[in-house]
Amino acid sequence: MALFVMWAGTARAQDETREQPPARTGFWGRTQAPSDTLGAYTDCLWGPVPARHDSVSTDLVERSRPAWETAVMVPYWIVGIPFRIVYLGLDQTVIGMDKLGLFGAAAEYPGLKGPFETYIMPVISIGDVEGFTLGLDVTRHDFLGPGNMLFLQGSRSTRKADELSGGTLFNLGKTWAVQIGAGTDEKNLTRYYGLGPESIDGDLSYYHRRTTWGGFEVDKDVGNKIGLELRTYFSKVEALEPVYEIHQSLGRVHGDEIPFGYPGQSNGLTMRLAMYRNNADQTGRPRSGGFQSLGVSLFEATDDSRLQYLTYHINLEKFFPLWHTDRTLALRAFVNRISNTGPVEIPFTRLVTFQRPDELRGFHSLRFYGMGSMALSAEYRWPIWVARGRDDMGVDAYLFSDIGQVYDRTAEISMDHLRFTGGAGLRLIDSERGFGARFEVGLSSEQTVVRLKFSQTFQYDKKGMLYGKNPTKVY
């Protein structure tokens, strides 16, 4: 009976308390209100909340883990040990790099901040013929003036595929620019399958290619999104016996059809004049517009070979917006053609081949050699990630198909010789450079080629001399 009365009495007492007008206390602020009134109410939806005192305070403690969870966690902990060790290493590395201020520097330009206001980007790659390659790219922005640039790169590989090159860019006013570049690279295992469109995959052989070059380029923006480029450079190309894979050397595999210029060397001056028109709305994720280029170059031997030839290049690209945001169809067609204007045969090392940016994805670079090449490319792109927006960092996925061939004579262009490839990839778009990298898998009837490249086949970056790109590879 006493219990019943107690309940009723307590209820009345609470009612009386609730009828009192609320006396608000100050909230936050140690200078204003005594801290023990924080959160205290003479009236609230639960009734009175008393001021802080021991009977209504507690030491907070973690909830204990239920027995069933402990049981299932034991295997998780055991299996997770190697993962935790790996992650601990990664975590501590990142923390260490952060304490060195490396990420703060990376925010301004890509790379880690080095001496003399340079930015350094380590380069690591593993390739089937190059082996393990380790290198560094060093960039100095605003070199000897705002907007100028100095770029140096060097790499060494475990299979003698080494490179040392560099270049500078000087802006002369708003419309003129000069690039100067030089370098040397060496690839012990350079692929050769034979000449012409009918070379076969089984005739893979290797030769040792060594190239040295140096020159300059003058760029002029003539307005209306049109640019002119005049490039002059000296180059020396050597084709030698390989050091590795001797059993598969060019001489052994193609003993009965040794191409002209093997072994041997060729050096000379190249002068190239090109015109570009770039009315694409963006470099990284273009939705509309296009990119066109037209070029002709003249090679004149500086040795006693009397070699002389002209190379023509036409490249047409167009971007079409599709159904949703940033879904784009990119189309490309290109033709390269060599015209021998001298009295001697052109060494195979100077012939046209499918190589960056004129690739036939799904085939290895250098799969075909000929006097000319042509190809059509179609690429459907769609965004899968954007950091902030279209103009920022992001990743696009793409499906592509390339159709093309090499030829010695125009009559060789035929359905029988056309090669079809297809594949898919991811494009990393960088807010600073417009394009970061691509990772793609290309399929053809012969092989599957996986590529990680820091250049794109569309809207190929023209600053070849600055970035120390081997000009004998291109055109």
Partner 1 sequence: MARTRPRSTDIIWLALLGTLGALLVAPAPSYAREPLRDEPVVWYAHDREPIPTPEFEEPGLVPYAVDSFVGRPFSRFWHPGRFFRWVGTGDRAQEAADINSLDEVVNSTWFTNRIGLTPLTPAELVEGPAHGRDLVTGPDRSTQWTIIGAKTAGVTPGFRIKDAKGDVWLLKFDPPSHPGMTIRSGVVTNLLFHAIGFSVPVDRLVQFSREDLVVGAGAMMRLPRVGKVPMTEANLDSILTATGSIFSGEYHALASRYLDGQPLGPFDDQGIREDDPNDTIRHQDRRELRALKVFAAWVNHFDTKMHNSLDMYVGNPGEGHIRHYLIDFASTLGSFGDALVKRFGYEYGFDTFPIMGRTLTFGLFEDTWVALERPEGLDEVGLFDVATFEPDKWKPDLPHSGMADMTARDGYWAAKILSAFTDEDLRLIVNQGHFQNPAAVDFLVETLAARRDKIVRYWFAKVPPLDFFTLTTAGIEFHDLAVERGYAATGNPRYRYRLSAVDKDRDRNDAGWTPWLETTTTVVPLFDETHRLAEDISRGGEDHPFLAADVQVDYGDGWSSSTIIYGAYVTGRLVALDR
Of 34, 39, 145, 147, the one binding partner 1 by CB under 8 A: 39
Of 19, 23, 58, 116, the one binding partner 1 by CB under 8 A: 58
Contact 238, 206 (CB under 8 A): no
Of 21, 146, 389, 416, the one binding partner 1 by CB under 8 A: 389
Of residues 107-136, those binding partner 1 (CB under 8 A) = 117
100 or 258: CB nearest partner 1: 100
Q: Does 288 bind partner 1 (CB under 8 A)?
A: no
Per-residue contact flags (x/-) with partner 1 for residues 327 to 356, judged by CB under 8 A: x-----------------------------
16 or 416: CB nearest partner 1: 16
16 or 128: CB nearest partner 1: 16
Q: Does 21 bind partner 1 (CB under 8 A)?
A: no
Q: What are phi and psi of 350, to 5 degrees?
A: -105, 5
Listed in order, strand segments (DSSP E) in 224-370 are: 226-240, 264-278, 289-301, 308-321, 328-340, 352-353, 369-370
Q: Does 33 bind partner 1 (CB under 8 A)?
A: yes
Query: What three-state secondary structure class fits 153?
Result: strand
Distances (CA, A) of 434 to 9, 252, 282, 428: 77, 45, 8, 9
83 or 343: CB nearest partner 1: 83
Token digits of residue 116: 């003399």
Q: Does 35 bind partner 1 (CB under 8 A)?
A: yes
Q: Does 23 bind partner 1 (CB under 8 A)?
A: no
Of residues 304-323, those binding partner 1 (CB under 8 A) = 323
Phi-psi region of 459 (alpha: psi -120 to 50; beta: other; left: phi over 0): left
Q: Does 428 bind partner 1 (CB under 8 A)?
A: no
Of 19, 21, 23, 46, the one binding partner 1 by CB under 8 A: 46
Of 20, 85, 94, 252, the one binding partner 1 by CB under 8 A: 94
6 or 126: CB nearest partner 1: 6
Of 34, 85, 89, 90, the one binding partner 1 by CB under 8 A: 90
Q: Does 59 bind partner 1 (CB under 8 A)?
A: yes
- Whole-angstrom Cα distance, residue 421 to residue 447? 10
Could you tell me which of 217, 241, 212, 242 has the C-alpha nearest to residue 227?
217
Q: Does 5 bind partner 1 (CB under 8 A)?
A: yes
Per-residue contact flags (x/-) with partner 1 for residues 369 to 388, judged by CB under 8 A: -----------x-xxxxxxx
Listed in order, strand segments (DSSP E) in 142-225 are: 149-157, 161-172, 176-192, 205-223
- Whole-angstrom Cα distance, residue 47 to residue 37? 16
Residues 6+ apart with CB under 8 A from 184: 163, 164, 165, 210, 211, 212, 213
Token digits of residue 373: 């090449």
Q: Does 325 bind partner 1 (CB under 8 A)?
A: yes
| Site of tokens 């593993």 | 126
59 or 128: CB nearest partner 1: 59
- Whole-angstrom Cα distance, residue 260 to residue 113? 47
